[in-house]
Amino acid sequence: MNVVKANYALISSYTVTFDLFTPILKGSELKITRSAVLYGYEQTACHPGHCGSSQNPQTKMDTSTQAQLYLSDQRGCSQTDFFRSYHVFNFGSYVAEARNPFGTLRVLNDNTLAAGHGITMQVEQHTDVLILPLLGGLEYESTRGNGFLETGQAQLFSLRSGMDYGINNPYETESINYLEIWFTNSLPAFTPGIDQTHFDLTVANKLLPLFSISHTGSVSPQPGQSFIGRYAGRAEDRYHLKEPRNGVFVFVLRGVFEVQNRLLHQRDGLSLTNIQSGAVDFEALSNDAVLLLLDVLQ
C-alpha cells in the first residue's frame, strides 16, 4: 500500500450532503452505537502499522449453509498519522488464517482520511475497485479520469495490473470516511474503464443497485452485482442470486439486521455460499438500518 501526503484546500463550490445517513436521521438518532461505534469511528486503540488482534480472529462457521461471520471488532487495522483503515480481509501487514478473499471479493476496507491529505493505491492484478463515500465527499484521480464523489454516489474503477488511483480529502478541518472494495477480474475480455452511479437512500425497504456487472458490461465483463438498501425496523426483504454459482457478502453500514437467521450489527459482515434456495432472506431489527449486499463470483 502506497501512502502519499497531499494538501487540498476546501473547495467552496462543493455543496454535498456530508453524511450518507443524514437525510434519514433525526438528531436523537445519531448516537446509535455498538461497541462505541459512531459512523464507523470505533473508539478502540489503533496503533500505527498492524493493529489487529495478535491472534487469528474467531470464525463462526455454519457448515450446513456455508456461512461465515466477520465481526466488526475482529477486523484488521492499519494506521498512519493521517489515515486509518479497518480490513475485513487480509490486507497489507494484516494476515489471519480466516480472512482470505471471498471468491473475487479481495478487499473490503473501511477507511478514514484526515483533512487535507491524500492516499494512492496500486492494484497488483486486474481489479474492479468500488469506492463508496460514507462521510464527506472526496476527490479521486486515476488514469481513467478525475473528479469529485459525494455521499449518494458510488465510483467503479476497472484497472489493469499496475494501475493506480488516488483518493484525496478536500476539506480543511473534516475527516472523511469511505468504503474501498476490490474485486479481482481474470476474465479475458477485461477492459479498463470508469463508471459512476447515484442512489437515493430516502427510498426505503428495497435494495438499490450500485453497479450491475455482467458478461456484456461496458465497464467490466465480470458477472456480479452490488446493492445498498435502507430498511425500517421489522422490514423484510429477499435477494435472489443472479448466478446460482455465485456467493453473497452482506456488510451492515448502520443498525442491526438478521440475515439468513444470523444477527449482524453495525460493520459486521457475513459471507454465504452454496445457497440452496438461490435466495437470501433478511430483516432489519432497528430503524433506518442500512446494508451493503454484494453478489460475488466464486
SS3 sequence of 15-62: CCCCECCHHHCCHHHCCCCCCCEECCEECCCCCCEECCCCCCCCCEEE
Name residue, grid cell 449518494.
152
Q: What are phi and psi of 137, to 5 degrees?
A: -95, 170
DSSP 169: -
Q: Considering the entire predicted model, what is its pTM? A: 0.82
Using alpha carbons, select from 271, 265, 205 the residue that is nearest to residue 237.
Answer: 205
Q: What are phi and psi of 223, to 5 degrees?
A: -70, 130
Query: According to the model, what pLDDT value does residue 79 have?
Result: 95
Q: How far apart are CA 186 and CA 105, in angstroms?
A: 12
DSSP per-residue codes, 268-285: -EEEE-S-TTSEEEEEE-
Query: According to the model, what pLDDT value does residue 149 have?
Result: 97
Query: According to the model, what pLDDT value does residue 188 have?
Result: 84
* Residues in contact with 28: Cβ distance below 8 Å, sequence separation at least 6, in sequence order: none
Q: What are the residue ranges spanned by the domains of the chain?
A: 22-296
Query: According to the model, what pLDDT value does residue 190 have?
Result: 86
Q: What are phi and psi of 78, to 5 degrees?
A: -130, 145
264 forms bridges with which residues in the sheet?
257
Query: According to the model, what pLDDT value does residue 212 have?
Result: 66
pLDDT tens, N- to C-terminus, the chain (298 residues): 333 333 222 333 333 456 886 544 333 232 222 322 223 333 333 534 445 443 455 444 444 579 999 999 999 999 999 999 999 999 999 999 899 999 999 999 999 999 999 999 999 999 999 999 999 999 999 988 999 999 999 999 999 999 999 999 999 999 999 999 999 988 888 889 999 999 999 999 999 999 865 433 334 445 579 999 999 999 999 999 988 889 999 999 999 999 999 999 999 999 999 998 899 999 999 999 999 999 999 8
Query: According to the model, what pLDDT value does residue 31 have?
Result: 27
Cβ atoms 204, 170 nearer than 8 A: no
Query: According to the model, what pLDDT value does residue 153 have?
Result: 96
Q: How far apart are CA 261 and CA 214, in angstroms?
A: 29
CATH architecture label of 22-296: Sandwich (2.60)
Q: How many CA atoms lie within 13 A of 227 on its CB side?
A: 21
Query: According to the model, what pLDDT value does residue 180 have?
Result: 98
Query: According to the model, what pLDDT value does residue 109 have?
Result: 98
